[in-house]
Homo-oligomer: A and B are copies of this chain.
């Protein structure tokens, strides 16, 4: 632990305000302001004096003072569950790209998928006087903080959520995408399927996907898909996930609520000695780039989180300019074919009688704690 040699940096002047500029230029504050903002008349003479003074002093406006007087902070608040999830991170990056040119800055908060935390976060953002809000949260339809934003007249755009409570949302049609997966499964002859979810309770996206998946399965007269809710630990521990899968030996296809889960499923399947897609088909959701690069490229629903961010930003920008709230159509998704999806093995295709799988490798191990 090394301490830097203590040397005070010469601070020309901690803060140089427009007042300093005016004094140095020998003019009034108002004049300086007019010159620096090109917002009013000024003689060529004083104009150049002010500019020189500003230059010399290294003046730059305080966004704070400006915000206070204009009651526009030029700041947009953004709440996402977590930036550790690349889907949200990319969306935020999408926001940035749009907002970059506009003078708006992003004030970011994350809730870690916690419904209480995200209300607090929004309240804090509002206190910071953000001009607008872009939000992905646990329960936008019941959020007191979001209601407060509305009361305060702060424009709000959602991301990822299906539109709710009159709030425009940049999203994909999760239900439709899930139905598409169900159709693919059905067309290939899969009957025993499951939906694998993480944080089902706190993600309406996940719930909407399941709903769509379930609806289409029923429409086709297939058995209801099993809903598997994973804990964080299970999702991150292939051995645990393998145990969970082993308990459901008659599944022939799994729809994972995101690509990471889908890849984890493949790992777990390997641990069990199952082969993908021969013994188990897997389809993911999101379409992360890495899925294409895998040995067995992942079949998935491809979405574009960055586009979601861009659309949300554009929507909010329009709101900020006084536009009426407009719900754009959902962003497109596409089914990305991949080698993880194939028809079930012939001996397992029959309706209700399924041939037993060979005993799983895992079940022979004893060193794995049950739990």
A contacts, CB < 8 Å to B: 1-7, 9-12, 14-15, 58, 60-65, 67-68, 71, 73, 75, 82-84, 86, 89-90, 92-93, 96-97, 105-110, 112, 123-129, 148, 150-153, 166, 168, 236, 238, 260, 263-264, 266-267, 270, 289-290, 292-296, 306, 324-329
CB-based contact A12/B64 at 8 Å: no
* A127-B61, A264-B293 known; A90+B96 contact, CB < 8 A: no
| Chain B contacts for A267, CB-based, 8 A | 292-293
Complex A-B: 29 CB contacts under 8 Å: A1-B326, A1-B327, A1-B329, A4-B326, A4-B327, A7-B166, A9-B153, A62-B129, A63-B129, A64-B64, A75-B128, A82-B93, A83-B89, A83-B96, A84-B89, A84-B306, A86-B86, A86-B89, A92-B108, A105-B109, A105-B124, A106-B108, A106-B109, A238-B293, A263-B290, A263-B293, A266-B293, A294-B294, A294-B295
CB-based contact A152/B93 at 8 Å: no
Report copies per complex.
Answer: 2
Q: How far is the CA of A324 from the CA of B324 in the complex (A)?
A: 51
Q: How far is the CA of A75 from the CA of B290 in the complex (A)?
A: 35
A148's partner among B58, B109, B290, B293 (CB-CB below 8 A) is: B58
Smallest CB–CB gap between A8 and chain B, Å?
10
Smallest CB–CB gap between A265 and chain B, Å?
10
* A89-B86, A93-B82, A294-B295 known; A64+B128 contact, CB < 8 A: yes
Smallest CB–CB gap between A37 and chain B, Å?
14
CB-based contact A295/B293 at 8 Å: no
A93's partner among B10, B84, B126 (CB-CB below 8 A) is: B84
Q: How far is the CA of A129 from the CA of B89 in the complex (A)?
A: 25
Smallest CB–CB gap between A331 and chain B, Å?
13
Q: How far is the CA of A179 from the CA of B274 in the complex (A)?
A: 39
Q: How far is the CA of A160 from the CA of B124 in the complex (A)?
A: 29
CB-based contact A62/B127 at 8 Å: yes
Q: How far is the CA of A332 from the CA of B327 in the complex (A)?
A: 48
9 closest cross-chain pairs (CB), A and B: A89-B89, A83-B93, A295-B295, A267-B293, A84-B93, A63-B128, A83-B89, A4-B325, A64-B129
| Inter-chain pairs besides A4-B326, A294-B295, 9 sampled, C-beta below 8 Å | A3-B326, A4-B327, A11-B153, A62-B129, A63-B127, A75-B128, A83-B90, A260-B290, A267-B292
Closest residue to A260 on the B side, CB-wise? B290
Q: How far is the CA of A118 from the CA of B149 in the complex (A)?
A: 32
CB-based contact A123/B60 at 8 Å: yes
CB-based contact B105/A106 at 8 Å: no
| Chain B contacts for A92, CB-based, 8 A | 83, 108
CB-based contact B11/A152 at 8 Å: yes
| Chain B contacts for A14, CB-based, 8 A | 152-153
Q: How far is the CA of A343 from the CA of B153 in the complex (A)?
A: 65
| Chain B contacts for A270, CB-based, 8 A | 295
Q: How far is the CA of A5 from the CA of B326 in the complex (A)?
A: 10
* A64-B73, A293-B238, A295-B294 known; A326+B89 contact, CB < 8 A: no
CB-based contact A105/B107 at 8 Å: yes
Closest residue to A306 on the B side, CB-wise? B84
